[in-house]
């Protein structure tokens, strides 16, 4: 459960006096999420989300994340909007942690995404990429290819505890992506974690995007690869090409993919599967027993990685390549 920091009613009521959102009516810790402490606030003005940033979020990155949500909301993306206090500040301090209040979004995330959800996520991702243009602050992707070897170093000597031979497989994969990672693809602001639990739907229609705390500047098609991984595999581990096609078609309708992006899709998918394998592996091995965090299965991403190794071209993901008749 993701409430790491307790906040007393007194502290919270006092904090709220700095904002124009009325007095506190209710406050409930939100169990979902793993990175930060989140609370659903009820005030005289309605519902809001209070986030206390825990230590995995670098405070220096907060102006990027909060500024980005402002920028995207101003360009029609339905994402949380930081609420400013009377002095115009979106970032405050509560219970010893950096804290923000953002607008509440209606909707629910889907546990079993269907083809139509995948298509809508593709469309929304293209809109997000376009809306991100012109955002002035930059943030490098610390969880990009340069970050993977040091991340792996933190769990290398224990990887085989999770699966015999896993360490060797990861090393082979790190060498592969280092040698084949594309250069010069269109880049911009990416969400970098647009998993089903970060996308809300209302009556089957995509209604909002949340959790911008991995957002950064990177290849736009890498974000699409992250979504193919997160949305288009079945619980039995099989890639669902119909979902992949829906997502890619939805995306390309908003922002056509370049030939170089299409060619790079298999390696981008491989790299993004490796990224989530590595962060999950680290958390799996390093989270102390009894911690409140629910650990995610690293091997789910190892299995996805193995699928991507068999993908020779983007047709494996459902993209119809011009001139191939595929």
Ligand X SMILES: N[C@@H](CCO)C(=O)O
In the list 21, 91, 105, 285, the residue contacting ligand ATP (rule: CB under 6 A) is 105
Residue 49 near which of ligand ATP, ligand X, none (CB within 5-8 Å, type-dependent) = ligand ATP
DSSP 3-state of 105: coil
Q: How far apart are CA 50 and CA 205, in angstroms?
A: 26
Site string for ligand X, 286-305 (x = CB under 6 A): ----------x---------
Label residue 247 exposed, middle or buried (CB < 10 Å: 0-12, 13-18, 19+): buried
In the list 14, 32, 58, 234, the residue contacting ligand ATP (rule: CB under 6 A) is 32
Residue 296 near which of ligand X, ligand ATP, none (CB within 5-8 Å, type-dependent) = ligand X
Residue 203 contacts residue 120 (beta carbons within 8 Å): no
Residue 24 near which of ligand ATP, ligand X, none (CB within 5-8 Å, type-dependent) = none
Q: Work out how close the CB of 123 gets to ligand ATP at its nearest, in angstroms, rounded to a whole number.
A: 21
User: Binding to ligand X by residue 135, rule CB under 6 A?
Assistant: no
| Token couple for 13 | 């009521």
User: Binding to ligand X by residue 275, rule CB under 6 A?
Assistant: no
Q: How far apart are CA 218 and CA 202, in angstroms?
A: 30
User: Binding to ligand X by residue 280, rule CB under 6 A?
Assistant: yes
Residue 242 contacts residue 116 (beta carbons within 8 Å): no
| Token couple for 259 | 């030939």
DSSP 3-state of 8: coil
Residue 80 contacts residue 14 (beta carbons within 8 Å): no
CB closer to ligand ATP out of 16 and 174 = 16
User: Binding to ligand X by residue 4, rule CB under 6 A?
Assistant: no
Residue 280 near which of ligand X, ligand ATP, none (CB within 5-8 Å, type-dependent) = ligand X
Task: From 85-93, 99-107, 182-190, 232-240, give the range in contact with ligand ATP by CB under 6 A.
Answer: 99-107
Show contacts with ligand X in window 185-214 (CB under 6 A): 193, 195
Q: For the CA atoms of 30, 34, 37, 38, what is the dihedral angle to 10 degrees?
A: -40
CB closer to ligand X out of 127 and 304 = 304
The upper half-sphere exposure of residue 313, i.e. CA atoms within 13 Å in the direction of its Cβ, equals 9
Residue 30 near which of ligand ATP, ligand X, none (CB within 5-8 Å, type-dependent) = ligand ATP
Q: How many CB atoms lie within 10 A of CB 316?
A: 18
In the list 52, 101, 102, 316, the residue contacting ligand ATP (rule: CB under 6 A) is 102
User: Binding to ligand ATP by residue 65, rule CB under 6 A?
Assistant: no
User: Binding to ligand ATP by residue 252, rule CB under 6 A?
Assistant: no
CB closer to ligand ATP out of 110 and 299 = 110
User: Binding to ligand X by residue 276, rule CB under 6 A?
Assistant: yes
Spell out the SS3 assignment of 280-309.
HHHHHHHCCCCCCCCCCCHHHHHHHHHHHH
Residue 312 contacts residue 262 (beta carbons within 8 Å): no
Residue 143 contacts by C-beta under 8 Å, 6 or more apart in sequence? 151, 192, 214, 275, 279
| Token couple for 228 | 């193919």
CB closer to ligand X out of 123 and 193 = 193
Residue 167 contacts residue 159 (beta carbons within 8 Å): yes
User: Binding to ligand ATP by residue 38, rule CB under 6 A?
Assistant: yes
List contacts with ligand X (CB under 6 A).
193, 195, 276, 279-280, 296
List contacts with ligand ATP (CB under 6 A).
2, 30, 32-36, 38, 49, 80, 102, 104-105, 197-198, 210-211, 213
């Amino acid at each position: 459960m993701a409430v790491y920091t307790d906040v007393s009613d007194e502290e919270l009521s006092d904090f709220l006096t700095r904002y124009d959102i009325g007095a506190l009516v209710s406050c409930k810790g939100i169990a979902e999420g793993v990175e930060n402490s989140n609370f659903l606030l009820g005030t005289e003005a309605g519902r809001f989300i209070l986030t206390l940033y825990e230590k995995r979020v670098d405070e220096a990155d907060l102006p990027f994340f909060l500024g980005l949500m402002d920028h995207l909301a101003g360009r029609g993306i339905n994402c949380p909007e930081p609420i400013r206090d009377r002095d115009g500040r979106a970032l405050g301090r509560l219970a010893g942690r950096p804290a923000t209040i953002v607008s509440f979004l209606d909707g629910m995330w889907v546990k079993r995404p269907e083809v139509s959800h995948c298509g809508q996520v593709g469309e929304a991702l293209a809109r997000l990429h376009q809306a991100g243009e012109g955002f002035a602050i930059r943030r490098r992707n610390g969880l990009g290819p340069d970050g993977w070897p040091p991340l792996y170093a933190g769990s290398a000597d224990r990887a085989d505890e999770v699966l015999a031979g896993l360490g060797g497989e990861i090393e082979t994969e790190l060498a592969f992506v280092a040698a084949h990672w594309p250069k010069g693809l269109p880049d911009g602001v990416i969400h970098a974690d647009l998993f089903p639990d970060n996308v809300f739907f209302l009556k089957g229609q995509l209604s909002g995007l949340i959790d911008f705390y991995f957002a950064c500047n990177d290849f736009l098609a890498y974000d699409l690869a992250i979504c193919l991984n997160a949305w288009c595999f079945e619980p039995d581990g099989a890639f669902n090409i119909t979902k992949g096609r829906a997502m890619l078609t939805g995306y390309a309708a908003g922002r056509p993919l370049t030939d170089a992006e299409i060619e790079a899709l298999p390696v981008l998918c491989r790299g993004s599967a490796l990224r989530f394998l590595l962060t999950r592996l680290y958390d799996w091995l390093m989270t102390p027993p009894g911690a409140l965090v629910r650990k995610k299965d690293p091997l789910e991403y190892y299995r996805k990685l193995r699928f991507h190794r068999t993908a020779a071209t983007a047709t494996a993901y459902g993209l119809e390549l011009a001139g191939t008749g595929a």
